[in-house]
Amino acid sequence: MIVLASDHAGFELKEYLKLYFTKHKIEYIDAGALNYDPEDDYPDIIKPATKHVLKDVNNRGIFICGSGVGVNMVANRTKGIRAVLASDTQTAEMARLHNNANVLCLGARMICKRRATNIINTFLSTDFLGGKHQRRIDKF
């Protein structure tokens, strides 16, 4: 299950991704913001969204704000979340391969929709390598 979450700055991209996921039959939940509110605060949305990700080891989060930095910082404060801020497919791939990242953070003001979907597709289709990489994660 994909857990989508964004603040006001990421709201338009999140809504686009909902249509994209529906079209491609990718299961998701919208963890907020449910309405555009220019005064919302990303921690109020992202903190509860991390709980949805942690409900199942197969869940993945996609969290969006203007730069991606804020949602990434908030997400990584939750034990069990390994969030990556990616603006290219290589970063998303390495985060999955070596770090078993379970949350992808995107900056809606930094990348276009096409790049976002390419990054997401890479993130969702890349499996964790395990082995020495698991040993390193265990040291977190």
Sheet of strand 28-30: strand arrangement: 28-30, 2-6, 60-65, 103-107, 83-85
Q: Which of 24, 65, 105, 112 is catalytic?
A: 65
Report the distance separating Cα 30 and Cα 125, nearest Å: 21
Alpha-carbon radius of gyration of the chain:
14
- Residue 98 bears catalytic tag: yes
Q: What are the phi and psi torsion angles at 63 (to 5°)?
A: -115, 135
To the query of whether residue 65 is one of the catalytic residues in this protein, the response is yes
Question: Annotated catalytic residue: which of 52, 98, 105, 112?
Answer: 98
**Mind telling me the catalytic residues?**
65, 98
